[in-house]
Amino acid sequence: MSKKQRERLSPSALKAFFRIVDHWGVRDEDARQLLGGVTNGPYYEMKKSPEDRVLDADTLLRISFLIGIFKALNILHGQKLADEWIRLPNTNRIFGGATPLAYLLKGGLPAMQTVRRLLDARRGGV
């Protein structure tokens, strides 16, 4: 992905990311981990001024997966459950009784892709 594309996509991706973690009730510490382990200073700068940041391709991919997860949850469930799902213990063998958030935090990008595929399959999605 070119720098020009990343410059164009980064502000809206960050705004979407912060709306999603707000809906999900994700702590800043965990949100930083979802972005790939961003440290405090850059994280709060992103939060304060998303329009001033240019993200790397890895971070944009992470946010893309999270947007897809968020969208699929809102298609599958009402907003209340869609927003809580990420923090609820889940008996699906992928999660092993843990929360989807714990799985995402532990597994990083591959886990995000797995959860996205799981939810897309559940909704018969593409």
Residuewise pLDDT in 10s, the chain (126 residues): 889 999 999 999 999 999 999 999 999 999 999 999 999 999 999 999 999 899 999 999 999 999 999 999 999 999 999 999 999 999 999 999 999 999 999 999 999 999 999 999 998 855
Distance of CA 36 to the CA centre of its chain: 11
Alpha helix (H) ranges present in 1-126?
3-24, 28-34, 40-48, 57-76, 79-84, 100-122
**What's the number of domains the chain is made of?**
1
In this structure, are residues 14 and 63 in contact, taking their beta carbons and an 8 Å threshold?
Answer: yes
Domain hosting 91: range is 3-122
